[in-house]
Amino acid sequence: MNVTLAVKQYISKMIESSGAGMKVLLMDKETTSIVSVVYTQSEILQKEVYLFERIDSQSRESMKHLKAICFLRPTKENVEHLIQELRRPKYSVYFIYFSNVISKSEIKALAEADEQEVVAEVQEFYGDFIAVNPHVFSLNLQGVAKGRSWDPSVLWRCTQGLTSVLLALKKCPMIRYQLSSDMSKRLAENVKQIITKEYELFDFRKTEVPPLLLILDRSDDAITPLLNQWTYQAMVHELLGINNNRIDLSRVPGISKDLREVVLSAENDEFYANNLYLNFGEIGTNIKNLMEDFQKKRPKGQQKLESISDMKAFVDNYPQFKKMSGTVSKHVTVVGELSRLVAERQLMEVSEVEQELACQNDHSSAQQNVRRLLQNPRVSEMDAVRLVALYALRYERHSASILPALMEQLTRRGVSEARRRMVQCVVEYGGKRVRGSDLITPTDAVAITKQFFKGLKGVENVYAQHQPLLHDTLDQLIKGRLKDSQFPYLGASSLRDRPQDVIVFVIGGATYEEALCVYNMNRSTPGVRIVLGGSSMLNTKSFLEEVMSSTSSGGERSQGISRYSNRH
């Protein structure tokens, strides 16, 4: 149940089976992401792959002394490009790998194009997803829902992605889906259909307890993606944005040329791997320790490293040192930028109120705090909108709701019309009317007492009170208590035992907070292995875009917005 390893093995197998000699890797846009997330360039160089090309690139030169390894998605365009390529081959031998099931007719078309007999191998390697972490995968799809229903092409891509994950992990699962969401039902049915159609492929050794695929809809928990995060990976994604392991730092003031864009990959970066799930304070300490270690080796360490900005200054002043510790300087820069943003946007205060909104049940204090923060000029526009959206979701049906007043306050702050509309869209997307689970007010007695005790005990960390709804859902699932009425099985059979291998897929995108939650559950419950997937990895910004594209009132305009912002 390790998606990263599965993709890595596929790729190394591809490269190995082509034998010795110089090689070129031909990919399409999506497989480029798939490969680049699990392998770095220098790792691939060691395997004698010296060139990386796009199949649709026109400028490739004929190099008959190279072997071509093609890793492509089985799309029409790719097959067409490949046919053109085989008609006029630029390389000596072709090893062709499709990332998913390809049809017989397309194979035939390819075989007919292979007039010069350059194809040595055609195989299907089911790496049709982006392995974000060993237990997290994403499909990098934006704007999944269009007015609460599937775009057919997106549905097909999701089905392909999910089935390839199942094949790569060798699972033929039972499927449960969220009843309140029509989209999850459609997806579940499509996956089932593929499993039935390609039953030979899914003919794996039976395990004692069959694996389980759980399909959820983001709209059931619209709160999680609206919260500020304080663990390293989640925080970096929330504040800077992670795109295929890369982080764009070009907007950081005074950034040096070689740090404009950095790669954070747990596979190759030990510090990152160790600190991925630690919270901001711990990372600061770890970085400080690391720096002090280095500093000890230096002469005349007069200056003390008290704060993160001190550390940044320290690194800047020693170019040699900077080179010596590429990793450290990278992380110092990233953490430095995070702490700058936290200070500038007063994220500590904002986050405290967010957590209060999400977890406590005190309307009067909540509304006071939101009002207070909206008056604070240092709180960014985005954060103001997100606070109001959270309030609107949380106290949607509250008798004394001050939402109109808050909206008025937003207008006075000069928040644009488009942004103000987001609040309404969020409620429309994830409001009470839509939800199937009790996201906010627990209904059964056990949960109520639990919350009561939680209130008595007080909280350890005000910024980490929130537990995503996914935690409860999975917890109940593992204990065998998840209600069939909310999450029915597809088909007649149902699971008797407690599930062991679980694959969760969130339509509309998963968050890194949920990734952390799954990571902790995997560690704390022996015998249970959970893999989390999403149509994308969300932060607040991309979530709001997702919401705008899915709700009807957002409509066409927001689609333009999301496309625009993707480009950044």
Q: Scanning residues 167 to 206, which ones bind another protein (CB under 8 A)?
A: 167-168, 170, 197-202, 204
The secondary structure of residue 464, as a DSSP letter, is G
**Taking CB under 8 A as the rule, does residue 483 contact another protein?**
no
Write the binding mask 330 to 359 for another protein: x where contact by CB under 8 A, - elsewhere: x-----------------------------
329-359 in b/e form (b: 16+ CB < 10 A) is: bbbbbbbbbbbbbbeebebebbbbbbbbbbb
**What element of type H or E holds 531?**
strand 529-534
For another protein, which stretch binds (CB under 8 A), given 46-54, 440-448, 515-523, 540-548? Answer: 46-54
Q: Which is nearer to another protein, 22 or 278 (CB)?
A: 22
Q: Which is nearer to another protein, 112 or 362 (CB)?
A: 112
What is the SS3 assignment for 5-67? HHHHHHHHHHHHHCCCCCEEEEECHHHHHHHHHHCCHHHHHCCCEEEEEECCCCCCCCCCCCE
Q: Which is nearer to another protein, 227 or 240 (CB)?
A: 240
Looking at residue 392, its amino acid is A
**Taking CB under 8 A as the rule, does residue 85 contact another protein?**
no
Output the DSSP codes for 358-401. Answer: HH---HHHHHHHHHHHHH-TTS-HHHHHHHHHHHHHHTTT-TT-
**Taking CB under 8 A as the rule, does residue 86 contact another protein?**
no
For another protein, which residue of 59, 302, 485, 524 counts as binding (CB under 8 A)?
59
What is the SS3 assignment for 150-173? ECHHHHHHHHHHHHHHHHHCCCCC
Please provide the distance, in angstroms rounded to a whole number, between the alpha carbons at the two ends of the chain.
33
- 517 within 8 A of 136, measured Cβ to Cβ: no
Q: Which is nearer to another protein, 53 or 428 (CB)?
A: 53
Q: How far is the CB of 26 from another protein (least distance, A)?
A: 9
**Taking CB under 8 A as the rule, does residue 208 contact another protein?**
no
**Taking CB under 8 A as the rule, does residue 45 contact another protein?**
yes
Q: How far is the CB of 282 from another protein (least distance, A)?
A: 20
Q: How far is the CB of 200 from another protein (least distance, A)?
A: 5
Q: Which is nearer to another protein, 127 or 508 (CB)?
A: 127
What is the SS3 assignment for 196-234? HHCCCCCCCCCCCCCCEEEEEEHHHCCCHHHCCCCEHHH
For another protein, which residue of 190, 235, 262, 467 counts as binding (CB under 8 A)?
262
Looking at residue 375, its amino acid is Q
Tokens matching residue 192:
């089932």
Tokens matching residue 567:
């480009």
**Taking CB under 8 A as the rule, does residue 287 contact another protein?**
no
For another protein, which residue of 259, 276, 350, 373 counts as binding (CB under 8 A)?
259
Tokens matching residue 431:
């409001």
- Please give the Cα distance from 439 to 393 (Å, whole number): 10
Q: Which is nearer to another protein, 268 or 486 (CB)?
A: 268
For another protein, which stretch binds (CB under 8 A), given 51-59, 214-222, 277-285, 352-360? Answer: 51-59
Residues 440-469 interacting with another protein (rule: CB under 8 A): none
Q: How far is the CB of 555 from another protein (least distance, A)?
A: 23
Task: Count the residues of the shown chain that bind another protein, applying the rule CB under 8 A.
Answer: 102
**Taking CB under 8 A as the rule, does residue 326 contact another protein?**
yes
For residue 176, list its beta bridge partners: 214, 489
For residue 429, give the nearest of 151, 217, 229, 238 by alpha carbon: 217
**Taking CB under 8 A as the rule, does residue 258 contact another protein?**
yes
For another protein, which residue of 4, 18, 36, 339 counts as binding (CB under 8 A)?
36
For another protein, which stretch binds (CB under 8 A), given 62-70, 214-222, 489-497, 517-525? Answer: 62-70
- 470 within 8 A of 509, measured Cβ to Cβ: no
Q: How far is the CB of 328 from another protein (least distance, A)?
A: 8
**Taking CB under 8 A as the rule, does residue 76 contact another protein?**
no
For the purposes of burial, counting CB atoms within 10 Å of the CB of 313, is it exposed (0-12), middle (13-18) or buried (19 or more)?
Answer: middle
Q: How far is the CB of 438 from another protein (least distance, A)?
A: 38
Q: Which is nearer to another protein, 300 or 397 (CB)?
A: 300
For another protein, which residue of 76, 297, 433, 523 counts as binding (CB under 8 A)?
297
**Taking CB under 8 A as the rule, does residue 489 contact another protein?**
no
Strands (E), 466-528: 501-507, 510-511
Q: How far is the CB of 370 from another protein (least distance, A)?
A: 35
For another protein, which stretch binds (CB under 8 A), given 109-117, 221-229, 392-400, 416-424? Answer: 109-117
- Please give the Cα distance from 380 to 415 (Å, whole number): 10
Q: Which is nearer to another protein, 179 or 313 (CB)?
A: 313
Residues 111-140 interacting with another protein (rule: CB under 8 A): 111-112, 114-117, 119-126, 140
Q: Which is nearer to another protein, 327 or 437 (CB)?
A: 327
Q: How far is the CB of 53 from another protein (least distance, A)?
A: 6
Tokens matching residue 183:
């989209």
Looking at residue 453, its amino acid is F
Q: Which is nearer to another protein, 185 or 237 (CB)?
A: 237
Residues 234-253 interacting with another protein (rule: CB under 8 A): 243-246, 248
Q: Which is nearer to another protein, 61 or 497 (CB)?
A: 61
Tokens matching residue 349:
């205060």
Write the binding mask 8 to 27 for another protein: x where contact by CB under 8 A, - elsewhere: -xx-xxx--x--xxx----x
Angle at 380 between CA 538 and CA 461, to 5 degrees: 65
